[in-house]
């Protein structure tokens, strides 16, 4: 009998096992994983670009990590969870009884169901083996079409462009990062990609793939775009089937959890890409298939599975990417999100520079802060620009959201300054002041009407 069995050795699963072991050194913990390597999928595009020299660098032996922490590890596939007998059955190694269970089965790449989707040369980028296949083909190719304008698609496109390929991105939405950035900020990203030689086709559907055995073009809105191969990056499907078959509640294929990452069954927890969590801003259920969310959820699930009582406060889906020389980041809600949810909002926007304009290396940066009108609390932020420092600014905004900071709070932010690193006027403060002036004008209009 194991005190804790963890299904999945990815970011959420391994983190939950390591966390539980730290909290209870005497606990008998087992990790069951199909993959014998531990690595971050977020690193895969950077191997494709050549910035990381080899896939061997990013992968680490999962068994070795577990053994170093006195955790048992079985490389096998879990095929059944028997809640009545409290055991997990695997394909080859048999049954493993448990007291507590963490389900961290991750997700799988979503595929397109269109004509020609079974042709060879159509890839997804989910794991190291996918990356190896794409890199092998990229080395001998000239043209690639990337389907999907989210993080995976755009990062992959940028990576393959750095390899010297002719790259086209096809995005069904009318702008890239449709659920992450408002269109005006997405347009800035769009221009940067095009300036670096990537063709971006927004508002276009992928209607099919052409070729005999191997794909040779992609039908996009009635036009055939030549391609030596295709990468599809249109999101993840949560792997909730194992839990669902066991009688654990799921929603849209994902495992439902509460604020303690516990499922509908006592003593059974879930974390990572397979779960349906909730937004910290709205309290509504949402997906958060990000590495940071997986690790945080893994810590909560592992802690509670080991007998602690730790709450998962919600997610903000904070994200940061580097595309060529541009950094982009976001957290919380966009204007579009607020509009869709009927949340009255006001935005503070500023265009500034990463350093004083006179200092070498100064780059333009665009910042938008989204506030609730009713209480002036920040609920979202978007940052797009050159240079560095976007990640730190997004983290600051996320912290402000967590602490219900208002326009006035951010206007009072105490900050540092030196010409090589930052301008005398802080961009977050400037954006908050812009929102304050807009609110003042609205209040004046209301007074005049009264």
DSSP character at residue 150: S
Active-site residue, from 42, 173, 274, 416 = 42
Secondary structure (H, E, C), 173-216: CCCCCCCCCCHHHHHHHHHHHHHCCCEEEECCCEEEEEECCEEE
- Asked if 103 and 114 touch (Cβ cutoff 8 Å), the reply is no
Burial of 206-219, coded b for 16+ CB within 10 Å and e otherwise, reads: bbbbbbeeebbbbb
Q: How far is CA 267 from CA 17, 33, 41, 91, 102, in A?
A: 15, 20, 29, 24, 9
Sorted by sequence, the CB contacts under 8 Å of residue 106 that are 6+ apart come out as 8, 10, 12, 238, 239, 272, 273, 274
Q: Is 274 a catalytic residue?
A: no
Alpha-carbon distance values, 53 to 43, 223, 376, 435 (Å): 11, 37, 47, 45
Residue 17 and residue 37: Cα distance in Å, rounded? 15
Name the token pair of 108.
């799988």
Concatenate the DSSP letters of all residues of 321-388 into one string. Answer: EEETTEEEEEEE--HHHHHHTT--EEEEEEEEESS-TTSTT--EEEEEEEEETTT-BEEEEEEEEESS
What is the DSSP code string of 68-93? HTT-EEEES-EEEEETTTTEEEESSS
Q: Are 327 and 321 spatial neighbours (Cβ–Cβ below 8 Å)?
A: yes
The answer to whether the Cα torsion of 321, 324, 327, 329 is positive or negative is negative
Report how far residue 191's alpha carbon sits from residue 109's, in angstroms, rounded to the nearest whole number.
28
233 touches 204 (CB < 8 A): no
List phi, psi (to 5°) of 302: -65, -40
Q: Identify whether the C-beta of residue 74 lies closer than 8 Å to the C-beta of residue 31.
A: yes
* Residue numbers annotated as active site: 42
């Amino acid at each position: 009998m194991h005190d804790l069995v963890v299904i999945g050795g990815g970011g959420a699963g391994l983190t939950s096992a390591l966390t539980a072991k730290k909290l209870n050194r005497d606990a008998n913990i087992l990790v069951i994983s199909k993959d014998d390597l531990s690595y971050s999928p977020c690193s895969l595009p950077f191997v494709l670009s050549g910035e990381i020299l080899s896939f061997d660098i990013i992968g680490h032996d999962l068994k070795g990590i577990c053994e170093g922490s006195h955790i048992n590890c079985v490389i096998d596939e879990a095929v059944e969870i028997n809640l009545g007998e409290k055991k997990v059955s695997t394909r080859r190694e048999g049954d493993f009884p448990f007291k507590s269970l963490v389900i961290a089965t991750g997700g799988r790449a979503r595929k397109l169901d269109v004509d020609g989707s079974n042709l060879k040369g159509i890839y997804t980028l989910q794991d190291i083996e996918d990356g190896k296949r794409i890199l092998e083909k990229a080395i001998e190719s000239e043209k690639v079409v990337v389907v999907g304008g989210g993080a995976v698609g755009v990062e992959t496109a940028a990576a393959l462009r750095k390899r010297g390929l002719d790259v086209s991105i096809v995005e069904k939405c009318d702008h890239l990062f449709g659920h992450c950035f408002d269109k005006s900020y997405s347009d800035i990203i769009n221009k940067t990609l095009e300036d670096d030689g990537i063709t971006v086709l927004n508002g276009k559907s992928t209607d099919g793939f052409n070729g005999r055995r191997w794909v040779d073009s992609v039908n996009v809105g009635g036009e055939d775009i030549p391609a030596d191969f295709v990468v599809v990056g249109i999101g993840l499907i949560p792997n909730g089937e194992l839990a669902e078959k066991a009688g654990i509640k799921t929603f849209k294929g994902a495992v439902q959890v509460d604020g303690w990452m516990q499922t509908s069954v006592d003593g059974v927890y879930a974390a990572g890409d397979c779960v349906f969590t909730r937004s910290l801003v709205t309290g509504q259920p949402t997906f958060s298939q990000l590495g940071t969310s997986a690790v945080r959820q893994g810590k909560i699930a592992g802690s509670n599975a080991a007998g602690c009582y730790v709450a998962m406060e919600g997610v903000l889906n904070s994200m940061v990417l580097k595309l060529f020389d541009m950094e982009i980041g976001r957290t919380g809600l966009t204007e579009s999100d607020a509009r869709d949810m009927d949340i009255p909002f006001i935005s503070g926007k500023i265009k500034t520079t990463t350093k004083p304009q006179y200092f070498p290396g100064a780059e333009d940066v665009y910042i938008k802060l989204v506030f609730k009108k009713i209480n002036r609390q920040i609920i979202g932020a978007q940052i797009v620009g050159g240079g560095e420092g976007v990640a730190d600014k997004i983290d600051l905004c996320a912290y402000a959201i967590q602490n219900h900071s208002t326009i006035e709070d951010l206007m009072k932010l105490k900050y540092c300054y030196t010409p090589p690193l930052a301008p005398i006027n802080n961009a977050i403060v400037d954006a908050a002041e812009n929102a304050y002036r807009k609110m003042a004008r609205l209040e004046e209009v209301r007074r005049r009407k009264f």
